[in-house]
Amino acid sequence: MSEGPSTTSVHGGGHFDPAVGAASSPIYRTSTFRFATTDDLLAAARGERPGFYTRHGHPNFAAVEAKFAALHGAEAAVLFASGTAAFAGVIQALVSSGDRIVALADLYGGTRVLLGECARRFGVRVEYVPLAELGRLDRALVGARLLVAEGPTNPMLRVVDVAALAAAAHAAGAALVFDNTFATPVLQRPLALGADLVWESATKALGGHSDLLGGLVAGRAELVERVRTARKVWGAVADPETAWLLERGMKTLVARLARQSETAAALARWLEAHPGVARVWYPGLPSHPDHALARRLLGSGGAVVTFACRGGHAAARALADRVRLVGNAPSLGGVESLLSLPVLTSHAYLTPDERAACGVTDDLVRLSVGLEELADLEADLDQAMGASR
Ligand SMILES: Cc1ncc(COP(=O)(O)O)c(C=O)c1O
């Protein structure tokens, strides 16, 4: 990427149609492609020309994949039907029965559920290392195929040292697979820090409008080709209109994230002083355990703030029931502010012990900050917490 990220987010991967001069990419609403000759069909099947059958690839997917790859400085990327499908594609491509995966315990709950399925159903061994026990990571990695990590983490916003994780994984002959959903390429580019594959739920900040599901994986061409083959074989494809919406959303990623992070930083400070709040986790605040690392790696605290309510779970639930402007919904990264209680949503399927290992308590609220005015968000949270005091 030679130009700046704002320019790449607008122009990267777009394809200009000289026939009509449309300023945005056309949507090719097709499941298949037709050919003048069988020789042409065979050339497309070999990947020598774009468009064969949509499960294999599609021009609207290619536009998003090229934009994501450019933003991450990657050789290649591949689009999936959801973030979870993207991670499943990585596992399907790189892991076999009998292999061992080491994962940091602080992961989105759904990622842990998927790894649990791999262990129960497909004979893959999974070992979790909590962030507090990173000292035993090198030993755990001996004989492992993959190291799975995420950062900033959902929902505690823990920031991990990607370069150190990559070095540890590589020393053991393992590959580092990194979930960058909360950072996006605007805040962090894990491939440049040594990760082998980066993936993101495009459902969140990349799409940015809470109107689509998608997932993207990027990395070296050879690895991404294996993941693309997994998409073709297992079939977790997006559709052309979703890809087009995602391309449109990604054009404003840098501008949205800048404004949302600015509002989130101000809200985090406001929450820290609020009598209804027991504790705030925001990487941009000096009180966050990884503040120094966040300053070095991310440069900004991002658009999500997590806080514990004084009054425990009942107070968190009352707040969620009383917000009017902020939505009570299990997602994040959109232009509209949303909150959710991780114990009931992102981490509902973990056992209490598993939640405790990554610091997820039942008084937590995860707040994804949108593009509304700061004062309006403060007023809404204040009335919702005031009512619960
Ligand atoms: C950090 C993180 N990774 C992955 C996912 C899964 O993404 P999707 O819902 O698009 O499958 C989520 C969803 O909340 C998430 O928060």
DSSP-based helix, strand, coil % in the chain, nearest 5: 45, 15, 40
In CATH, what class is 5-251?
A: alpha beta
pLDDT reported for residue 158: 98
* Å from CA of 48 to ligand 1 middle: 33
pLDDT reported for residue 357: 86
Pocket test for ligand 1, best of 87, 159, 197, 203 (most atoms within 8 A of CB): 203
* Å from CA of 17 to ligand 1 middle: 33
pLDDT score of 17 more than 90: no
- Share the mean pLDDT of the chain: 95
pLDDT reported for residue 1: 46
128 in active site: no
> Strands 338-340 and 327-328, how do they pair?
parallel
CA-to-CA distance for 15 and 11, rounded, in angstroms? Answer: 9
Q: Compute the average pLDDT of residues 164-188.
A: 98
What CATH number matches the domain at 254-388, 3.90.1150.10, 3.40.50.2000, 3.20.20.80, 3.40.430.10? 3.90.1150.10
Closest ligand 1 atom to residue 84 Cα is: 11
CB distance 203 to ligand 1 below 6 Å: yes
What digits encode the pLDDT tens for the residues 274-318?
Answer: 999 999 999 999 999 999 999 999 989 999 999 999 999 999 999
Q: Which two tokens stand for residue 60?
A: 């609207």
**Is residue 119 very low, low, confident or very high in pLDDT (cuts 50, 70, 90)?**
very high
The secondary structure element, H or E, covering residue 62 is helix 59-72
Q: Which two tokens stand for residue 242?
A: 């979703």
**226 vs 349 pLDDT, higher one:** 226
CA-to-CA distance for 29 and 239, rounded, in angstroms? Answer: 8
pLDDT reported for residue 358: 87
Q: Compute the average pLDDT of residues 362-387.
A: 96
232 in active site: no
Q: Which two tokens stand for residue 117?
A: 């399925």
Which of 106, 179, 290, 362 is catalytic? The answer is: 179
- The DSSP annotation for 337-368 comes to -EEE-TTTTTTTTS-HHHHHHTT--TTEEEEE
**Is residue 5 very low, low, confident or very high in pLDDT (cuts 50, 70, 90)?**
very high
Q: Compute the average pLDDT of residues 43-50.
A: 86
What digits encode the pLDDT tens for the residues 178-207?
Answer: 999 999 999 999 999 999 999 999 999 999
CB distance 282 to ligand 1 below 6 Å: no
The DSSP secondary-structure symbol of 192 reads G
**Is residue 387 very low, low, confident or very high in pLDDT (cuts 50, 70, 90)?**
low
- Expressed in angstroms, the distance from the first to the final Cα of the chain is 51
* Å from CA of 340 to ligand 1 middle: 14
Fold match between 5-251 and 254-388? no
CB distance 242 to ligand 1 below 6 Å: no
> Which residues, at least 6 apart from 46, have a Cβ–Cβ distance to it below 8 Å?
none
158 in active site: no
What digits encode the pLDDT tens for the residues 51-108?
Answer: 899 999 999 999 999 999 999 999 999 999 999 999 999 999 999 999 999 999 999 9
What digits encode the pLDDT tens for the residues 246-257?
Answer: 999 999 999 999
Q: Would you list the domain boundaries of the chain?
A: 5-251, 254-388
